[in-house]
Amino acid sequence: MTQTLKTKVLIIGAGTGGYVAGIRCGQLGLDTVLVDGGDGLGGTCLNVGCIPSKAIIHAAGKFETVTKAAGGGTLGITAAAPAIDLSQTVEWKDGIVRKLNAGVAALLKKAKVKVIKGWAEFADAKTCVVKTDEGDIRITAEHVILATGSEPVELPFLPFGGDVISSTEALSLSEVPKKLVVVGGGYIGLELGIAYRKLGAEVAIVEMADRILPLYDKALTDPVAKWLEKHGVELHLGARAGGFGDGKLSITTKDGEPLQLDADKVLVTVGRRPRTQGWGLENMGVAMAGPFVKIDQRCATSMKNVWAVGDLTGEPMLAHKGSAQGEVVAEIIAGHDRIFDPVTIAAVCFTEPEIVSAGLGPNEVAGRDDVIQSVFPFAAIGRALAIEAGEDGGFLRVIANKGDHRILGIQAVGQHVSELSNSFAQMLEMGAVLEDVAGTIHVHPTLGEAFHEASLRALGHAIHI
């Protein structure tokens, strides 16, 4: 027998967009049902993406530090050669995920959000049937928030399975592969490829573009390329992957030559696509924008009282974008006057070194004579040198209008620069000018001093260069 349920708000997807929307709806007193049919509470980010990958990256960094200490010493510290039991590392990572899952569940319960574990399928825009272990539940809602997220793109000639893995499987391997080939030189492939290189794997990267991280300007990615070269990561740029069999991946090089790469595991990270299949989107009558659900500034779809947030709505596919959209939609449903119109959504690559970009980059302002670009090297920052973060070619760049000095973009590459990303976004969101940054006393010694110095340099009077 099918159970029936009516609610004010129905949210499909429990990722960073969906669960945040649910909590905010609950805070605003809206009767809310959240259907979790994917990776679990927290979605891709918490379970098989952002959080677990950063945990593995952190562990890899620790392992690399001890390896350096064993290989002749570092900072006067010596140690015995380290060993790693990756299954224990993965169990530690899983423990973090379980703790965060429980935290999200507690927050939803506190907000009085009803969570249903199961897979939803829509018959029309406001009605779906959720298949659960206890039977089917038919839900009708006044408002529907679609937050189904995204999934890894699978190549037809390299289907996932066995030793061909996605980022999900790469975060739960029981041992470090001797030889890992990464297909795709974007941020996901590089983050995981670098982590496994630190853990001792021989790593090769196959990328169709002529350089790694092609969405970022070359100056930002050069320090990462230098790290890869220094640490023996094999780069095949302008190359195309083919089939995999008998422990060998076939590729075609930039020159059109066939080549076989030995691989114990092939990690395919050629992008992500919105999760639009299998839950009845085609029955909802919403307009599309290419592969994505089309929304306006209110995150409203073409169907009245149907909303969409997160990866389903297009680039950038970032967790913090989905969360911000989820809050906006909840407040609109509650009667608040809101739109989703950020000045910037900062993006971070947790590579070695890390990359941050917020606002306009040099490629977007190329040829313009009405902008100032100012770069300050981390090698001139005391804190960077004291934590071995200043000699990898890292720098911080500020781009501003020449006339009124309004800041248009901020980028940085260097160790630990991800922690500067919120400062960058805040300055852009507040419409700061160079003088605002220059007039703010920055704490010494910190990496953030580079932001201060780059702004001073743009004004013509940097102190430490």
Structure tokens at 5: 């349920």
Task: Give 397: exposed, middle or buried? Use CB within 10 Å, 0-12, 13-18, 19+.
Answer: buried
Q: 122 near 279, Cβ under 8 Å?
A: yes
Task: Kindly state the average pLDDT of the residues 171-175.
Answer: 97
pLDDT at residue 389, as a whole number: 86
Q: What pLDDT was estimated at residue 74?
A: 85
Could you tell me the maximum CA-CA distance found in the chain, to the nearest angstrom?
Answer: 75
What pLDDT is stored for residue 73 in this prediction? Answer: 82
Mean of pLDDT values over 382-405 = 94
Distances (CA, A) of 409 to 59, 262, 320, 433: 32, 42, 19, 11
Q: Cα–Cα distances in Å, from 349 out to 46, 47, 97, 315, 325?
A: 17, 19, 21, 16, 22
Q: pLDDT per residue over 108-119, tens digit each?
A: 999 999 999 999
Model confidence at 438, pLDDT cuts 50, 70, 90, reads very high
Residues 78-106: what's their mean pLDDT?
97
Q: Which helix (H) or strand (E) holds 116?
A: strand 114-117
pLDDT tens for 288-312 read 999 999 999 999 999 999 999 999 9
From 58, 236, 444, 464, the catalytic residue: 444
Sorting pLDDT into bands at 50, 70 and 90, what band is 388? confident
Residue 39: per-residue pLDDT: 80
Torsion angles phi and psi, residue 77, rounded to 5: -100, 130
Q: What is the pLDDT of residue 25?
A: 98
Cα–chain center distance at 2: 39
pLDDT band at 1; cut points 50, 70, 90 = confident
Taking 90 as the threshold, does the pLDDT of residue 329 lie above it? yes
Report the side by side order of strands in the sheet with 354-359: 347-349, 354-359, 407-414, 395-401, 371-377
Burial class from Cβ neighbours inside 10 Å (0-12, 13-18, 19+) for residue 457 reads: buried
Confirm whether 58 is a catalytic residue.
Answer: no
pLDDT band at 72 (very low <50, low <70, confident <90, very high): confident
The pair of three-digit structure tokens given for residue 113, joined into one six-digit string? 């959000």
The tokens 């010694």 sit on which residue? Answer: 445
Rounded to the nearest integer, the mean pLDDT of the chain is: 97
**Average pLDDT rounded to a whole number, residues 243-268:** 97
- Rounded average pLDDT over 64-92: 94
- Whole-angstrom CA distances from 84 to 59, 113, 174, 201, 390 are 10, 41, 11, 12, 29
Is the pLDDT at 38 greater than 80, yes or no? Answer: no
Percent pLDDT > 70 in the chain is 100
Nearest alpha carbon to residue 34 among 152, 139, 157, 162: 139
Question: How high is the pLDDT of residue 113?
Answer: 98
Q: Are residues 20 and 27 in contact, defined by beta-carbon separation less than 8 angstroms?
A: no
Alpha helices in 111-186 (DSSP H): 167-170
d(CA 56, CA 62): 10
